[in-house]
Amino acid sequence: MKQEVINVVRNAIESLQKQWGLETISDIEVEIPRNETLGDVAATVAMSLAKTLNKPPRKIAEDIVNAIKTMIIPPLANGGLGGVTAEEGEGRLGIFEKIEIAGPGFINFTFKKEYFYKNLEKLLEEEHSSFRTNIGQRRKVQVEFVSANPTGPLHIGHGRGSAVGNALSNLLQAAGFDVQREYYINDAGLQVKLLGQSVYAKYCEICMDKYPYSISKNAYPFPEDGYKGDYIYKLAEELEKKYQGKLWAKDFDEISREVIDFSYQKMLELITKDLKDFGIAFDRWQSEKELYEKGKVESSLKTLSDKNFLYEKDGAMWVASTRFGDDKDRVVVKKDGEYTYFASDIAYHKDKLDRGFDTIINIWGADHHGYIPRIKSVIEAFGLPKEKFKVILIQMVTLLRHGEPVQMSKRAGEFITLREVIDEVGADTAKFIFLTRRADSHLEFDIEVAKEQSAENPVFYVQYAFARISSIFRQAIEKRVQGFEGSRVQEIDLSFLKENEEISIVKKLLQYPIVFEGAVLSFEPHRITYYLQELARLFHSYYNKHRVISEDKTLTAARLCLCKAVQIVLEEGLKILGVSAPERM
C-alpha cells in the first residue's frame, strides 16, 4: 500500500526535478493517517522539501499532484504489487480514487475499492506465503535469551525475557532470517558450586534422619550465601535417591563433581521443562564449562594478548577495555589465578561471531546494561564489527498480587516462579501480557488481575475473533453454503464487500506487512500484539453489525472470503507471538 504511493510520488518528483533544480531526491516518506477519513496513505514530502526549495509546502504539493495527474500511472502488476492499471481505472488516477492536499501540505491518497478487492484476492490466493518477506535474505542471526543460571527455577523475569526472545526469533524467521535460538549455560564457576554445596548440606540432613544408626557422622554446614527454597530440598532428596548414603560425610571437594553436576543438570531439566510448557524451545545450548574444556577461553585471551589488549597489574590480568569506550579496564584473571566471568564471556562472544552469524542478539535483563560496553570493546579489540552485536534489554518485572508488590528475594528463596505463573494464569495469557509492552518499559504484572480478568484479557479478545471465524466456517460447512474454497477465490465477486466496515477490515489486513516490517526492523514484536488487537476489534464490530452467512449466496461467498483473510492474518500474528489460535473457546 505504501509502496505504490512512494513510486508515484517519486516519479512525479523526478519529472519536476529539473524544473525545481533539485539535485538529489531523498527517500519518500509516507504514513498511514491517523484519521481514516483523510485518506489511506499520506505523503509528507511537500513539507520536508519546503525548506530546500524555498517554496510554500502547499504549492509544492500542488505541483506534485498536478504532475501525477498528467502521468499515466504504470500498471502496478508490472511491479508485482497488484492493483489495477490506469486503463482499468477511470481517468488518469489509476488505482487512486482521489489525491488531495490537506493541512499544512499533506498529500493524501485514497485508493479505489477495486484496489482492495484485488489485494484481498491476492492474500487469499497466497495465504501465509504472502507474508514470507525476504527482508532477512537468509542472513544468519542468533538470538540468545533466558540463559538463566542453572541454580534455581526460572522466575517471572525470565518469563518475560523468554517470551520476547521467542517472539523476536519467530519474527525474524518469518522475515527471512536464518535464526538460531541459543541458551548459554553458566555451568562453571562459583554459582554452580554454591548450588552443589547447598544441596549437599540438605542431603546430609536427610541422611542423618534416614540413617540414624550412624549418628557419629556429621552434617555439612549450609553455606552462608547458599541457595534456599524448597527446590534445594527436592534436589537433595533426588540426590539421596540416586546415591543413598554413599556421598555422606565426605570431604566436599572429594565428591563435589558428582554433587554439582547432578544438581545443575537436574536444574536444567526443570528449566527445560518449564520452558517447554511455556512453549519455548532452543536450537542450541552452549555450556560455559565446555568453552574452558575446549580451550576457547585460553585461546581468546591469547588473541587479545597478541593484540596488546591484555596487561598485568596488581597480580591480576586486565583487559584494556577503556580503549574502546568502557568506563574502566576489567579483570579477566584474578590474583588467585581464577578466571572471572568476563573471561568466559569474551570467549563466548568471540565464539558466536566466529560461527559466522551476521548478527548476534543478546536478550538481557536491564540490570546487566553496565556489561554492554565491555563486551563491545572486546569485540572491537578482536577486530570484529561491533554492529553485529546487539543487546535488547528487558526491564524489570514488578510482580503484584491484588495490587500489592510481592517481595522477591532470591537469597531467601522467595520468588514467584515462571511455573507458578503458567499454572495460575496460563502460558498464552502470560506471553501476551509480556508482549504488550515495549522491552524497555517497566512491567507491572498483577498475577491476580491476570487471573481474575482472564475472561476480559486482551489475549482472549484476539483468540476469540479467531474462534468466532472458525465457528462461522463450521456453520458454513454444516449448511453447505457455497462459500470460500481456496482454489475458487477468483470466481467469487469480492466487490459485494461494499460496507464501510468491510473496506476498513481489508485496509487493516493490507497494513499487516507494514506493521510486520516495522516490527522486524526495530526488533519490536510488541507491535504485532497491538496490531492484532486492532484487527480483532474491527472484526468483532463487523460481526455484531453484519451477518456473514445469509440467503444472498454471492454476498455470503464474498464475506466468507473476508473472514478467511482475517483468520489467516490473525493466525500469522499469533504464531509470531507464540500464542495459540484456538478454533473453539
Applying the rule CB under 7 A, the residues between 389 and 418 that interact with RNA are 393, 395-396
CB of 219 to RNA, least distance (A): 25
What cell numbers appear for 149 in the block? 543460571
Instruction: Say how far apart CA 559 and CA 496 lie, in whole Å.
Output: 8
Which residues, listed in sequence order, are joined to residue 444 by a DSSP beta bridge? 398
Considering only 7, 44, 173, 322, the residue that binds RNA (CB under 7 A) is 44
Question: Rounded to an integer, what distance in angstroms lies between the CA atom of residue 438 and that of residue 348?
Answer: 28
Long-range contacts, stretch 263-266, CB < 8 angstroms, 24+ apart: 263/192, 263/195, 263/196, 263/199, 263/235, 263/239, 264/150, 264/151, 264/187, 264/192, 264/195, 264/196, 265/150, 266/235, 266/238
Which residues are CB-contacts of 456 (< 8 A; sequence separation ≥ 6)?
none
Site for RNA in 308-327 (CB under 7 A): 313-316, 327
Q: Return d(Cα 497, Cα 506) in angstroms, integer.
A: 10
| 77, HSE (Cβ side, Cα atoms, 13 Å) | 8
197 binds RNA (CB under 7 A): no
Which residues, 435 to 494, sit near RNA by CB under 7 A? Answer: 436-438, 440-444, 449, 453-456, 458, 460-461, 464, 467-468, 470-472, 474-475
3-state helix, strand, coil in the chain (%, to 5): 55, 15, 30
For 182, what's the count of Cα atoms within 13 Å in the CB-facing half-sphere?
Answer: 21
Amino acid identity, position 36: E
Of 244, 305, 541, 554, the one binding RNA by CB under 7 A = 541
C-alpha cell at position 147: 540463559
Q: Phi and psi dihedrals of 550, rounded to 5?
A: -145, -175
Regarding beta strands 96-102 and 41-43, do their DSSP bridges make them parallel or antiparallel, or are they unpaired? unpaired
Shortest approach of RNA to residue 293 CB, angstroms? 16
Does residue 77 touch RNA according to CB under 7 A?
Answer: no
Pick out residues in 271-310 that bind RNA (CB under 7 A): none
Bridge partners (DSSP) listed for residue 405: 400
- Report the nearest approach of RNA to the CB of residue 78 (Å): 27
Minimum distance, C-beta of residue 111 to RNA, in the bound complex (Å): 14
Q: Are 515 and 130 in contact (CB under 8 A)?
A: no
Choice from 186, 198, 263, 567 touching RNA (CB under 7 A): 186
* CB 262 to RNA: min, Å: 19
Nearer to RNA (CB atom), residue 248 or residue 466: 466
Choosing from 31, 293, 423, 493, the residue that interacts with RNA (CB under 7 A) is 31
> What is the per-residue DSSP string for 335-395?
TTSPBPHHHHHHHHHHHHHHTT-SEEEEEEEGGGGGGHHHHHHHHHHTT--GGGEEEEEEP
Least distance from C-beta 88 to RNA, angstroms?
26
Least Å from the CB of residue 349 to RNA? 14
Binders of RNA among residues 208 to 237 (CB under 7 A) are: none
Query: Which one, 287 or 453, has the nearer CB to RNA?
Result: 453
SS3 581: coil
Measured from the CB atom, the residue of 20 and 530 that comes closer to RNA is 530
Number of residues lying near RNA (CB under 7 A): 95
Residues counted in the chain: 585
> Binding residue for RNA (CB under 7 A) from 524, 528, 558, 579?
524
- Cβ closer to RNA: 18 or 480? 480
Interface with RNA includes 90 (CB under 7 A)?
no
Interaction between residue 562 and RNA (CB under 7 A) = no
CB 269 to RNA: min, Å = 20
CA 275 to each of CA 154, 281, 580: distance values in angstroms, whole numbers, following the listed order: 9, 7, 16
Rounded to whole angstroms, how far apart are CA atoms 527 and 281?
23
Does residue 377 interact with RNA by CB under 7 A? no
Site for RNA in 93-152 (CB under 7 A): 102-106, 108, 149
**One residue of 160, 350, 508, 526 binding RNA per CB under 7 A:** 526
**Residue 553 engages RNA in binding (rule: CB under 7 A):** no
**323-362 footprint of RNA as x/- string (CB under 7 A):** ----xx--x--xxx-x-xxx--------------------
Per CB under 7 A, the list member of 368, 402, 488, 498 interacting with RNA is 368
Maximum separation of any 2 CA atoms in the chain, in Å: 103
Separation of alpha carbons 412 and 441, rounded Å: 27
* Of residues 247 and 515, the one with the C-beta less far from RNA: 515
Q: By C-beta, is 286 or 340 nearer to RNA?
A: 340
CB of 193 to RNA, least distance (A): 9
Stretch that binds RNA, among 30-38, 157-165, 264-272, 279-287 (CB under 7 A): 30-38
Q: What angle do CA 500, 529, 540 make, to 5 degrees?
A: 35
- Nearest approach in angstroms of CB 110 to RNA is 11
Which span sits near RNA by CB under 7 A: 28-36, 127-135, 176-184, 488-496?
28-36
Q: Rounded to the nearest whole angstrom, what is the least distance from the CB of residue 205 to RNA in the complex?
A: 26
Q: Which helix (H) or strand (E) segment is 422 a member of?
A: helix 418-425
